[in-house]
Structure 1
Amino acid sequence: MSNLTLTLILAGGLALSGCQSATMSQGGAGDFGCLAGTVSGAILGGFAGSAIGAGSGQLWAVGGGATLGGAAGSALTCR
């Protein structure tokens, strides 16, 4: 995996974690779990997209995987 791909995966994860709002839950401990689930989902989704994509479509696969992974991580941990 190239350095550019890893950089894009990490940047996507950080961008998705910036979308989290502190007003979503009442407790302080739940916020960290929600944020960690979203970021880890985005990172894992980016890695999965990187493994699936090939050629010029790999960048789209990484972006799509990071987006879907972040959404899935958020849905599972932010309740």
Structure 2
Amino acid sequence: MSKGTITLILAGGLALSGCQSATTSSTRAGEFGCIAGTVGGAVVGGVIGATIGSGTGQLWAVGSGATLGAAGGNALTCY
């Protein structure tokens, strides 16, 4: 995997983690778990997309995988 792809995955994960809404709990641990789940899902989804995609479609596969992974991680860890 190239450095550009890894940079894109990490930048996308960080950008998506900034879109988190405030949690209802007042503890920092709950907020950290929510952000970590979203970013972790984006990274895992991006890596899976990078392994599935090939050629010029690989960028689309990475972007789609990161987006869907972030949404899945958010749904699992944020309540």
Normalising by structure 1, what TM-score?
0.94
One-letter identity of the residue aligned with 1:67:
T
- RMSD between aligned residues: 0.8
**Aligned sequence identity (%):** 68
Deviates more, 1:47-56 or 1:24-33: 24-33
Aligned residue pairs: how many?
78
Deviation for aligned residue 1:27: 2.7
Distance in 2 between residues matched to 1:32 and 1:13, nearest whole Å:
14
Residue matched to 1:59: 59
- C-alpha deviations, 1:15-56, integer Å up to 9, x for none? 1101012x2222322101000000000000000000000000
One-letter identity of the residue aligned with 1:7:
T
Normalising by structure 2, what TM-score?
0.94
Q: Which runs of 4+ in 1 moved over 3 A?
A: none
- 1:26-65 pair list within 5 angstroms: 26-28=25-27, 29-65=29-65
Question: Which runs of no fewer than 5 residues in structure 2 stay unpaired?
Answer: none
